Amino acid sequence: MSFYITKKAIILPALIFSVIPFYTAKKILLSNTTLRTANASHQTASIDTISYNNRMKHLANGDKTGRWPPADVIPLEGALLPFNRIVAYYGNFYSTQMGILGQYPIDKVLAKLNSEVQLWRNADSLTPVIPAIHYIAVTAQGRAGKDGTYRLRMPSIEIDKAIAAAKQVNGIVFLDVQVGLGKLQSELPALKKYLVLPQVHLGIDAEYAMKNGRPPGTCLGTFDATDINFASGYLAQLVNENNLPPKILVVHRFVNSMLTNYKNINRCSQVQIVINMDGWGPSQKKKDSYYQAVFKEPVQFTGFKLFYKNDAQKGSKLMSPAEILKLVPQPIYIQYQ
């Protein structure tokens, strides 16, 4: 078992049922203060190729192995990446243990998010920063529930709260999906009314994708390239049908087994894929996981997650923006839990 298995898998099943009621239920950023996603229109033309490739080489951060930047497709006009860095706050409003979104009143959460955004702007003044709310809209569960899927869909009022919070900081939204024993083929269409909004993007968590039929939290789950391709294809269809700017797909990963057949992941101009290093611990262990599970298996963009509590245990401290910017490649998506 990986060092990072304790990240949240063990505490989650018991936690959720104690705090969440069971519902049946561009160049787009031209400045640090003006986000244009809300009114962006879909363009059939691609963005400037030279500018895009230069930014991708910059993110490779001097890699000498030839892995980074990976071979890529040029996104449609309106793509956020790699022209901006995204700094996101993660969690669920019902839970104080699943991330910072549930730990404080929303005004305090947004004030803290703005402070982190400013730190990143100071650390890399050449890359505009977009704040984001990364909300767990489908949570893995410790009990099977009526449909036997070990997952719980959040009510619309809570998702609306996440969207409203992002609007207050001129930011974007990620809706995160933990499928349990369910499938992306069922969960993504259930979120369609939100995913067609230009400022709403998607996250999927392999840790709780239980293809072996075991309950979430008893072992690590996994996604295959076929799962990533389904999610990407679903988003691409929404982009095409609704004249949207490109969507971002964040895939959580902290060990290699959480994502299989990465070379078979399809890339398209409508969707930008971020592999997010999701493990917690001392900085060296986090760097090692980033190297093994992200650097060695390049897809497109990379992300890096920071845990306010778990990263700072036993004398360790939270990694700073300056430390993270030294990683190869540089993460373009930063998430705080």
Residues 12-30 pLDDT 10s: 433 333 333 323 233 333 2
Alpha-carbon distance values, 20 to 11, 70, 96, 181, 183 (Å): 14, 41, 11, 19, 22
Fold classified for 3-336: TIM Barrel (3.20.20)
C-alpha–C-alpha distance, residues 337 and 331, integer Å: 16
C-alpha–C-alpha distance, residues 236 and 330, integer Å: 26
Confidence of residue 43 (pLDDT cuts 50, 70, 90): very low
For 91-134, the pLDDT digits (tens) are 999 999 899 999 999 999 999 999 999 999 999 999 999 999 99
For residue 20, the model assigns a pLDDT of 37
- Taking residues 61-86, report their average pLDDT: 96
- Evaluate if residue 277 carries a pLDDT over 90: yes
Of the listed ranges 61-65, 177-181, 213-217, the one predicted with least confidence: 213-217
What pTM does this model have?
0.87
How many other CB atoms sit within 10 Å of the CB of residue 309?
12
For 184-207, the pLDDT digits (tens) are 999 999 999 999 999 999 999 999
For residue 47, the model assigns a pLDDT of 82
Count, in order, helices (H) and strands (E) of the chain.
9, 11
For 287-313, the pLDDT digits (tens) are 999 999 999 999 999 999 999 988 888
Confidence of residue 220 (pLDDT cuts 50, 70, 90): very high
3-state secondary structure 277-319: ECCCCCHHHHHHHHHHHHHCCCCCEEEEEECCCHHHCCCCCCC
